[in-house]
Amino acid sequence: MRLALYVTCLVDLMRPSVGFAALRLLESAGCEVVVPEGQTCCGQPAWSAGNRALSADLAKKAIAELEGFDYVVIPSGSCTDQIRNVYPQLFAADAHWGPRSRAIAERTYELTTFLADVLKLPAVPAKFEGSVTYHDSCKGLRGLGIKRQPRELLMKVNGLALKEMSDCEECCGFGGAFSVKFGDVSTRIVDRKCDSIAAAGADAVVGGDLGCLMNIEGRLRRRGDETTRVLHIAEVLAGGGNS
């Protein structure tokens, strides 16, 4: 099985360890993983801003470099949602790019969905001493139906205890440009998320989208919480969670 790993622009710039964790996980599951060289960004920021033309340009670029693989795997629900759900909309009336975007969409999976539902991973190569609480990111949860998969995988981690927080499906307030445009509103929203995390009392908060995690980590630290770790699920599953 030959697959393309699309690391996302945020992981590339802000937290490379997530990309390497995903790589390790997929390789240890026996996949041949290629990191297509030209990849930059899926174009979601332009799409969210309402700029269809710019987002279509970047979508075409991504489609072209992701073709020719059995699967495309992405350690982000948000970017996966963009490729799976938005690309086919962008090119619905396009005779050339329409079929190509639909073909890519069908083969593109968010990391935990791919591990749990496609590979049906029987075990994960990880140990984690402590408890974690899982934040369901909006695009993954409501756009792709990701809910069971990350929890199934976390339960396979040696030593890990899952402590659900209340309102785990509530938005963290990130919303891409929203957190920069309406910073104070975003802060108010993430404060409620931090309250839920604090009440759950887990050693770490884990999620599948780096944007949400940066928002949560940034706010936890600013509030003075220096101990609750904030981890991408790839990092936990690949065994880097306690490092």
Residue 50 found at the interface with another protein (CB under 8 A): yes
The answer to whether the beta carbons of residues 93 and 82 sit under 8 Å apart is: no
Q: Please report, for residues 69, 134, 162, 189, 190, the alpha-carbon distance to residue 196 in angstroms, rounded to integers and kept in the order given.
A: 40, 11, 14, 11, 10
The answer to whether the beta carbons of residues 128 and 237 sit under 8 Å apart is: no
Residues 188-207 that bind another protein (CB under 8 A): 188-190, 192
Interatomic CA distance for residues 178 and 40, integer angstroms? 21
Residues 86-105 that bind another protein (CB under 8 A): none
Nearer to another protein, 121 or 132 (CB): 132
Nearer to another protein, 143 or 239 (CB): 143
Q: Using CB under 8 A as the criterion, what x/- string covers residues 132-171 for binding another protein?
A: ------xx--xx-------------------------xxx
Residue 39 found at the interface with another protein (CB under 8 A): yes
Nearer to another protein, 95 or 180 (CB): 180
Phi and psi at 196, nearest 5°, equal: -65, -40
Residue 229 found at the interface with another protein (CB under 8 A): no
Residue 45 found at the interface with another protein (CB under 8 A): yes
> Going by C-beta distance under 8 Å and a sequence separation of 6 or more, which residues neighbour residue 152?
116
**Site residues for another protein per CB under 8 A:** 7, 9, 11-17, 19-20, 35, 37-41, 43, 45-46, 48-52, 54, 57-58, 61, 138-139, 142-143, 169-171, 173-190, 192, 214-215, 217-219, 221-222, 230
